[in-house]
Structure 1
Amino acid sequence: MRHKRMKKWGTGLLAAGLLLTLAACGNAADQGGDKTSGSGSEAEAVEIDIFQFKVEFKDQFEALAKKYEAANEGVKINIETVGGGSDYGAALKSKFSSGNEPDIYNIGGPEDVNMWLENLTDLSDTKAAGEALEGTLTGATKDGKVLGLPYNIEGYGVIYNKEIFEKAGIDASTIKTLTDLENAAKTLDSKKEELGLDAPFALAAKELWITGLHSGNAFLNAEFDNDVMKAFDSKTVEFKYSEQFKKYIDISNDYSVQPTNSLDYSQQIEQLFSNGKVAMTQQGNWVYPTIADVNPELAENIGILPIPIDGVTEGTIPVGVPMYWGVNPNGSEAEIQASKDFLDYLYTSDEGKQIVLEEFKFVPAYKGYDTEKISDPLSKDVYTYYTEGNTTGWVFMGYPAGWGEQTLGAEIQKYVAKEATWEEAIQSAKDKWAEERE
């Protein structure tokens, strides 16, 4: 891969870590092809380098890029995907520090916006920004400028195997509280031999983002009024719902395949859940393609249960924007405009919309989509929770950089390993938040 010319680089980024190594995760780091210059067009040839984190739709995204190239002579798109078990944040810093800067890349919420501010283009004039659903631009807007376009809407909770629940005599629609979830786990545990289960649950505590970002967010969003900017501006964190948080981690851990600190994403989803060895695990609608690849029949018979705060947000799941697309202002005018045009095509053209819905399996964060075509059961559940108002927000993008994983996730690992009490783990997380926000 040839290097672009050296682009403007802010040295402060070298010392910073990206907020998220999130989300919807596999275990690969893949690079899309060697770079060549565009050719054969009377217009100026332009290359767009895209560096993105979501491995689940890598193949479909690359196929879409080829369609775009075929329809836009002289445009060459190079896609590099680093996600899942790889550290996207570290890889992105490396790209910029080497001078091989991407034209389009991913950022999280307000922490990332501040961190990468000098390397983000104002996208307020794009068609996609104008079509974004209410609230989806908040985490990537600063001083009235839209600095990132939302990927999609994602939701997560406790995904479950409907067939196993039916065999166990559990009515999933009655599970609204943590006590309901615990009772379901007890029932499954009592019948695990006849159901062919290794355990009712799989808690992938090895993955710090699962516990520190996602589990933590489920119990901190109410503390921050579902407002990512309130979390971002807060000097302290109280863990107002610490008791409920502890109960959820205890349920997940006590009824899980052990040891939970050794369970990674691949074991959690590909080996255990997709093969019917566990009935429940915390994940989101982004895992559907992975499950469908392993076990297509099972993939059509799964759903999402709540992660509730008893007495506060019962019957709800957290829903939000997982990442944003940022455009590098340090390229040529042609590269910047081509990047904007591609993102507009992706989310606002008829062809792009069809691919986003039917091939990417995204729940769109933009207007003008036929949501009746949302096809997979997890995304359908997310959309139902969303449209019925049974959702809470995503505030983890407002955590201090690295705190969710390296502090809270690491402290939860200590707790489940019995190396710290819950009180010690939470106090350490409180102290680190305050220290980071001094």
Structure 2
Amino acid sequence: MKRKILSIMLTFALVFSLMAGCGTKSSNNGESNSTATATKSVKITLLNSKGEIQAQLEDAAKAFTKENPNITVEVIPAAAGQSPFEKVTSMYASGNAPTMAMLDPGDIAKFKDKFLDLSSEKWVSDAIDGALNAATVDGKVIAFPFAVEGYGLIYNKAVLDKAYGGNFDPSSIKTRDALEEAFKKVEATGAKALEISPMDWSLGAHFLSITYADQSKDPAQVAQFLSDLKAGKVDLANNKVFNGLMDTFDMMKKHNIDKNDPLSPTYDRGPELIGKGEVGFWFMGNWAWPQIKEFDTANGQYGFIPVPISNSQDDYGNSGIPVGVTKFIGIDKTQNSAEQQGAAKKFLDWLVYSSTGQDMLVNKLNIIPAFKNITLQPQDPLAKSILQYVKSGNTLEFMTTLPPDHWSKLGASMQKYLAGKIDRKGLINEIENYWKNVQ
């Protein structure tokens, strides 16, 4: 995905666009199947791999059924700690494939023989530029781009305002030293600086992947770097970006509220700490807003700052956060009936084109949509912060097509590093060995 084009289109779609939704491609298959579901009750299932919005997705399913009484949608959660790919694979093996499966971008192509061709759906024409890249396999669109997301260091502005004795300017933090100064200022107020959530997916898929994204502004150069890693041609011990990122991580470890037992916290601890103002920062993404909101009793302000990799504010990456389409939904064609497939298409259309569906997507699920016809402005502060980075062009490549086991295997390596069970040399060894063995 080209970051520059994505930035322009996201800005156009979500900030300045006044366009009404209309596509040029017809969805004849969806129309005929929708007609079938109009006179016949049908139940469909959605495998949800975004556990933080399980309750909100269930509410969206109920709202859809209220408007489409003959269609019932069951939202099935993927187990915590289980990759979506593993969950869906096991469901296929048991002959109980979900009608719709929410997967990571890198997993879509693996189901090309099981997912329905959606190329003729109306929303294909309304997708923002680049949003369908990972969903297009052998010239066919086989998945629906569900969410645009971004991540970095979430800050609680009230905590930072107190620490700085005035109006905190997030753009002032563009170096490692500036970040540590912010940590120390927060700690001087009696609060803690930072929460590092130790989940393997956060450490492996998100934090470590900044190493790849920050290698170059040019996506082709990033791809070449990964190719060189696979070929064993990269010496991470002498890679400036990697060492800079890990120097920052070492500094973050010193200010981690849970530094004495860094692997003990669960995901749920993060939103509580940042929402209650017990910490100033939390490394996480905008998907966490529904949980933060539950603890934010003061209607506070939140946003993102980048993870700096050096003390030179002009170094690439020090002013940007990763942004990209992170989740796709495929429709099964092998174990679900034509009526179920039609109902699933109708559900996706409902999200994109109905006022209720759009409201659910943007305001209830707190999703930044990947469609230019949706002009609703997100109200949550983290989505707004992401859009500010998009508008300014300060976005990094969200590494969404890494190998499926990257987050679990190298996330485990990052956990060991976080806990002090391996040093940097050991971490480098595990990272390089992992990439050399990627098939």
Cα drift, residue 381 of structure 1 = 0.2
Q: Which has the higher contact order (CA 8 A, sep 6+)?
A: 2
Cα drift, residue 290 of structure 1 = 0.4
Q: Which runs of 5+ in 1 are unaligned?
A: 1-39
* Residue 174 of structure 2, aligned match among 164, 173, 176: 176
1:228-261: per-residue Cα shift (whole Å, max 9, x none)? 9937983625354211121221122111022222
CA contact (8 A) 1:201 1:281 kept: yes
1:27-426 aligned within 5 A: 43-82=39-78, 84-85=80-81, 87-110=83-106, 112-169=107-164, 171-189=169-187, 191=188, 195-197=189-191, 199-205=192-198, 207-223=199-215, 225-226=218-219, 230=223, 234=227, 236=229, 238=234, 239=236, 240=239, 241-257=241-257, 258=259, 259-270=261-272, 272-297=273-298, 300-310=300-310, 311-330=315-334, 331-371=336-376, 373-395=377-399, 397-406=400-409, 408-426=410-428
Q: Which moved more, 1:219-228 or 1:48-57?
A: 219-228
Q: Against the structure 1 CA distance between its residues 120 and 234, is the aligned structure 2 distance closer, same or farther, given a 3 Å change threshold?
A: farther
Measure the CA separation in 1 of the matches of 2:221 and 2:69: 41
Cα drift, residue 42 of structure 1 = 7.0
SS of alignment partner, residue 229 of structure 2: coil
The count of aligned residue pairs is 386
Cα drift, residue 105 of structure 1 = 0.6
Cα drift, residue 181 of structure 1 = 1.4
CA contact (8 A) 1:52 1:79 kept: yes
Letter in 1 for 2:123: A
SS of alignment partner, residue 153 of structure 1: strand
Measure the CA separation in 2 of the matches of 1:260 and 1:323: 28
CA contact (8 A) 2:126 2:371 kept: yes
Cα drift, residue 86 of structure 1 = 5.3
SS of alignment partner, residue 361 of structure 1: coil
Letter in 2 for 1:174: S
Cα drift, residue 391 of structure 1 = 0.5
Measure the CA separation in 1 of the matches of 2:163 and 2:147: 35
Q: Which moved more, 1:144-153 or 1:303-312?
A: 303-312
CA contact (8 A) 1:153 1:362 kept: yes
Q: Against the structure 1 CA distance between its residues 42 and 413, is the aligned structure 2 distance closer, same or farther, given a 3 Å change threshold?
A: closer
CA contact (8 A) 1:221 1:227 kept: no
Structure-1 residue corresponding to 2:11: none
1:181-218: per-residue Cα shift (whole Å, max 9, x none)? 122123333x0xxx232x3111122x011111100122
Letter in 1 for 2:113: E
Measure the CA separation in 2 of the matches of 1:336 and 1:71: 18
Computed over aligned residues only, the root mean square deviation of the Cα atoms, in angstroms, reads 2.4
1:17-74: per-residue Cα shift (whole Å, max 9, x none)? xxxxxxxxxxxxxxxxxxxxxxx98723322111112233333322332232233342
Cα drift, residue 178 of structure 1 = 2.6
Measure the CA separation in 2 of the matches of 1:409 and 1:76: 37
CA contact (8 A) 1:82 1:88 kept: yes
Measure the CA separation in 1 of the matches of 2:126 and 2:373: 8
Q: Against the structure 1 CA distance between its residues 417 and 60, is the aligned structure 2 distance closer, same or farther, given a 3 Å change threshold?
A: closer
CA contact (8 A) 1:301 1:377 kept: yes
CA contact (8 A) 2:84 2:102 kept: no
Measure the CA separation in 1 of the matches of 2:306 and 2:423: 26
Give the TM-score normalised by the residue count of structure 1.
0.81
Letter in 2 for 1:44: K
Cα drift, residue 302 of structure 1 = 1.6
Q: Against the structure 1 CA distance between its residues 201 and 73, is the aligned structure 2 distance closer, same or farther, given a 3 Å change threshold?
A: closer
Structure-2 residue corresponding to 1:35: none
Letter in 1 for 2:374: Y
Give the TM-score normalised by the residue count of structure 2.
0.81
CA contact (8 A) 1:202 1:260 kept: no
Structure-1 residue corresponding to 2:434: 432
Same amino acid, percent of matched pairs = 28
Q: Which runs of 5+ in 2 are unaligned?
A: 1-35
Cα drift, residue 175 of structure 1 = 0.8
Measure the CA separation in 1 of the matches of 2:88 and 2:120: 26
CA contact (8 A) 1:139 1:228 kept: no
Q: Against the structure 1 CA distance between its residues 83 and 181, is the aligned structure 2 distance closer, same or farther, given a 3 Å change threshold?
A: farther
SS of alignment partner, residue 362 of structure 1: coil
SS of alignment partner, residue 260 of structure 1: coil
